[in-house]
């Protein structure tokens, strides 16, 4: 299969890895954190305030994975208390473009997806009533 639309089709192992990257990139918190850092570096508590609904644990885990993948830097300033800033790397910044394109698509098409979902659930419910 060809995930990318490029000339050379992917072999199964490449396809798998692209899928893994997409699974990570598509993660809700990852997308929100990358978007948020697109406007400049932030401290942990700022991020926590700016990413609605994220728990301390999930934000810590998301930032650790992003740092591990080379998408985000973590800078500790040894003040009292220590100050920790997170910022996008060049690699992370390059991801903003496709992530925002997908975000734009999602925002534009959420109403259609919601309507489809309601229709599907209504038909499924009617089906289960008729089945009784």
Residues lying near its own copies in the complex (CB under 8 A) are found at 1-6, 10, 12, 14-29, 31-32, 35-36, 38-39, 50-53, 67-71, 91, 94-107, 109-110, 112-113, 115-117, 119-121
Whichever of 38 and 85 has its CB closer to its own copies, that residue is: 38
| Sheet containing strand 83-88, strands side by side | 42-43, 83-88, 72-77
Give min distance, CB of 81 to its own copies, in A.
22
C-beta closer to its own copies: residue 70 or 80:
70
Q: How far is the CB of 33 from its own copies (least distance, A)?
A: 9
CB of 97 to its own copies, least distance (A): 8
Cβ closer to its own copies: 26 or 83? 26
Largest CA distance in the chain: 68
Closest CB 121 distance from its own copies, rounded Å = 7
Integer-rounded Cα radius of gyration of the chain: 20
**69 CB-contact burial (10 Å; exposed 0-12 / middle 13-18 / buried 19+):** middle
| 80 vs 112 by CB, closer to its own copies | 112
Residues 6 or more apart whose CB falls under 8 angstroms from that of 2 comprise 9, 10
Separation of alpha carbons 99 and 112, rounded Å: 20
């Amino acid at each position: 299969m060809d995930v990318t639309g490029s000339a050379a089709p992917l072999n199964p192992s490449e396809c798998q890895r692209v899928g893994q990257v997409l699974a990570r990139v598509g993660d809700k918190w990852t997308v929100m954190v990358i978007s948020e850092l697109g406007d400049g570096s932030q401290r942990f508590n700022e991020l926590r305030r700016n990413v609605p609904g994220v728990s301390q644990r999930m934000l810590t885990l998301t930032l650790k994975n992003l740092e591990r993948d080379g998408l985000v830097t973590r800078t500790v300033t040894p003040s009292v208390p220590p100050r920790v800033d997170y910022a996008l790397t060049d690699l992370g910044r390059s991801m903003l473009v496709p992530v925002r394109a997908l975000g734009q698509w999602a925002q534009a098409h959420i109403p259609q997806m919601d309507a489809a979902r309601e229709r599907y659930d209504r038909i499924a419910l009617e089906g289960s009533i008729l089945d009784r």
